[in-house]
């Protein structure tokens, strides 16, 4: 098939899922055309079936807000006509689903049918989509999609509860490439950070408010009084400076390191003992899955789709949002030398259930279904 993929090309989870999906589809022989405003971060290798089409937004002094959505719709039309796309798969509803709908309408006038598959990732529904300034367009463009997927049962339910949705939603969870995300021998790195055999905790996120990074810090500082440990914080975002200030106030300087954005997070994960994800909302928790694949158990909140990933007492623990004391208690239990190896095995076993090889056919099945439906309409 010739598949167009529209996504945010940056570090966010939806962009990672879209890019890894496109790469895997290309390896399976599909022709994949990425349509985005810059090269997706993880689109970093050559494959004869992969193409990248940049969306450029020409600004004009009259525009206070450059009309990206129109430029994107025009580029989808252009690529669909030029290469003969079989469908376009948009990741993150805003503004991708409505741009794809507009492109579909324009192409229909030219006698071309372009099915649209929309994948809902999380904040496009749970935060931004609910905002009154977007809600009518989000509802409309989900309903106009030929196929809709959500990354967890929880996200599907929240979408159905909040929006007036008439299109069926398939749940297709996030997935993991186990060839890339696996524990690597990086003991020299661990020795440098934990010279006295301390336990190593890690948090990876885009440092938005919804991630509750302050809970990671308060939890760690309490834990640190009982268990010798170090904390690595990976990623960047609006809350980072505030979190650095908080860390200086409540933790010892030598115990907490902010590493910024890292490409090879699997190297850090390979030497870590515990991943902490205390999010206020989290539709799936891709970063936690990446940790589990590297044999790192997870302490997370029980928000959104996290209970569909983390098995309480096996691959980690689920705690109520903001219950830092419980997180400390559970962390002490996991990090105990009698328990840690068992939790590490539990984490890896769970991650294997989300192997990309098992999840990819679910997307292919949705593609086949929307194509069949198009053929039915045409004949
Ligand atoms: O919050 C992020 O990490 C970015 C965000 C995105 O859409 O770019 O991630 C969402 O999509 C990921 C991939 O499907 C999910 O694993 C994350 O749980 C989800 N984030 C939230 O729901 C907050």
Residue 374 has pLDDT above 80, yes or no: no
Residue 276 has pLDDT above 70, yes or no: yes
User: Once rounded to an integer, what is the mean pLDDT over residues 343-358?
Assistant: 98
Closest atom of ligand 1 relative to the 206 alpha carbon: 3
> 236: burial class by Cβ within 10 Å (0-12, 13-18, 19+)?
middle
Of 225, 218, 170, whose CA–CA distance to 370 is shortest? 170
Give residue 173 CA to ligand 1 midpoint distance, Å: 12
User: Which of 5-9, 194-198, 248-252, 345-349 is predicted least confidently?
Assistant: 248-252
212-257 confidence digits (pLDDT tens): 999 999 999 999 999 999 999 999 999 999 999 999 999 888 999 9
Q: What is the pTM (predicted TM-score) of this model?
A: 0.95
Closest atom of ligand 1 relative to the 287 alpha carbon: 16
CA distance 45 to 263: 14
CA distances from 69 to 93, 149, 221, 287 (A): 12, 21, 45, 29
pLDDT computed for residue 42 by the predictor: 79
Residue 343 has pLDDT above 70, yes or no: yes
Residue 377 has pLDDT above 70, yes or no: no
pLDDT computed for residue 47 by the predictor: 86
Residue 378 has pLDDT above 70, yes or no: no
Closest atom of ligand 1 relative to the 119 alpha carbon: 14
User: Dmax of the chain from CA atoms?
Assistant: 71
Q: Which residues contact 311 (CB under 8 A, 6 or more apart)?
A: 346, 350
Of 127, 314, 93, 116, whose CA–CA distance to 206 is shortest? 127
Residue 376 has pLDDT above 90, yes or no: no
CA distances from 335 to 180, 202, 323 (A): 25, 13, 18
3-14 confidence digits (pLDDT tens): 999 999 986 899
Q: How far, in whole angstroms, is CA 74 from its chain's centroid?
A: 27
8 A C-beta contact, residue 302 and residue 321:
yes
Give residue 285 CA to ligand 1 midpoint distance, Å: 7
Give residue 284 CA to ligand 1 midpoint distance, Å: 7
Residue 25 has pLDDT above 90, yes or no: yes
159-187 confidence digits (pLDDT tens): 999 999 999 999 999 999 999 999 999 88
Most ligand 1 atoms within 8 A of CB, residue of 5, 13, 278 to mutate: 13
Of 14, 300, 348, 42, whose CA–CA distance to 172 is shortest? 14
Of 105, 43, 112, 57, whose CA–CA distance to 82 is shortest? 112
102-137 confidence digits (pLDDT tens): 999 999 999 999 999 999 998 888 778 788 889 999
Q: Which residues contact 143 (CB under 8 A, 6 or more apart)?
A: 164, 165, 166, 167
Give residue 12 CA to ligand 1 midpoint distance, Å: 6
User: Once rounded to an integer, what is the mean pLDDT over residues 23-39?
Assistant: 96
Residue with tokens 């022709």: 31
User: Once rounded to an integer, what is the mean pLDDT over residues 336-359?
Assistant: 98
Give residue 195 CA to ligand 1 midpoint distance, Å: 34
43-100 confidence digits (pLDDT tens): 877 889 999 999 999 888 888 889 999 999 999 999 999 999 999 999 998 899 999 9
% of the chain beyond a pLDDT of 70: 98
The overall average pLDDT reported for the chain is 95
pLDDT computed for residue 58 by the predictor: 87
pLDDT computed for residue 43 by the predictor: 84
Q: Which residues line ligand 1 (CB under 6 A)?
A: 12-15, 17, 92, 121-123, 151, 174, 206, 210, 281-286
pLDDT computed for residue 12 by the predictor: 80
Closest atom of ligand 1 relative to the 8 alpha carbon: 8
User: Once rounded to an integer, what is the mean pLDDT over residues 187-192?
Assistant: 92
Residue 158 has pLDDT above 80, yes or no: yes
**Banded pLDDT at 331 (limits 50, 70, 90):** very high
Q: Which residues of 282-296 are buried (b: 16+ CB within 10 A; e: fewer)?
A: bbbbbbbbbbbbbbb
**Banded pLDDT at 41 (limits 50, 70, 90):** confident
Give residue 14 CA to ligand 1 midpoint distance, Å: 6
pLDDT computed for residue 11 by the predictor: 65
Cis peptide before 95 (omega within 30 of 0): yes
Q: How far, in whole angstroms, is CA 279 from its chain's centroid?
A: 13
Neighbours of 196 (CB within 10 A): 7
Most ligand 1 atoms within 8 A of CB, residue of 14, 204, 359 to mutate: 14
């Amino acid at each position: 098939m010739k598949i167009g993929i529209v996504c945010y090309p940056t570090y966010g989870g939806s962009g990672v899922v879209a890019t890894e999906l496109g790469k895997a589809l290309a390896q399976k022989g599909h022709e994949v055309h990425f349509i985005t405003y810059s090269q997706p971060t993880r689109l970093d290798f050559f494959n004869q079936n992969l193409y990248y089409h940049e969306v450029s937004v020409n600004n004009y002094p009259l525009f206070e807000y450059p009309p990206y959505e129109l430029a994107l719709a025009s580029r989808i039309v252009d690529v669909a006509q030029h290469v003969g796309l079989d469908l376009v798969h948009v990741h993150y509803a805003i503004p991708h689903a409505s741009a794809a709908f507009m492109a579909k309408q324009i192409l229909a006038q030219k006698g071309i049918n372009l099915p649209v598959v929309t994948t809902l990732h999380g904040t496009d529904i749970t935060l931004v989509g609910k905002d009154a300034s977007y809600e009518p367009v989000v509802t409309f463009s989900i309903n106009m999609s030929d196929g809709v997927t959500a990354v967890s049962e929880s996200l599907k339910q929240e979408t159905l509860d909040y929006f007036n949705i008439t299109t069926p939603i398939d749940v297709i969870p996030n997935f993991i490439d186990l060839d890339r995300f696996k524990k690597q021998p990086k003991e020299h790195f661990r020795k440098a950070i934990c010279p006295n055999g301390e336990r190593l905790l890690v948090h990876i996120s885009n440092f938005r408010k919804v991630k509750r990074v302050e809970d990671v810090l308060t939890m760690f500082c309490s834990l640190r009084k009982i268990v010798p440990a170090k904390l690595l914080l990976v990623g960047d975002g609006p809350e980072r400076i505030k979190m650095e200030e908080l860390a200086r106030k409540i933790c010892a300087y030598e115990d907490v390191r902010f590493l910024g954005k890292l490409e090879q997070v699997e190297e850090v994960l390979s030497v870590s003992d515990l991943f902490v994800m205390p999010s206020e909302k989290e539709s799936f928790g891709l970063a936690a899955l990446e940790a589990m694949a590297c044999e790192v158990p997870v302490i997370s909140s029980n928000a959104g789709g996290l209970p569909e990933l983390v098995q309480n007492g096996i691959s980690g623990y689920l705690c109520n949002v903001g219950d830092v004391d419980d997180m400390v208690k559970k962390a002490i239990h996991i990090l105990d030398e009698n328990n840690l190896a068992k939790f590490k095995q539990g984490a890896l076993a769970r991650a294997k259930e989300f192997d990309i090889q098992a999840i990819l056919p679910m997307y292919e099945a949705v593609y086949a279904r929307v194509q069949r439906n198009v053929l039915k309409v045409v004949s």
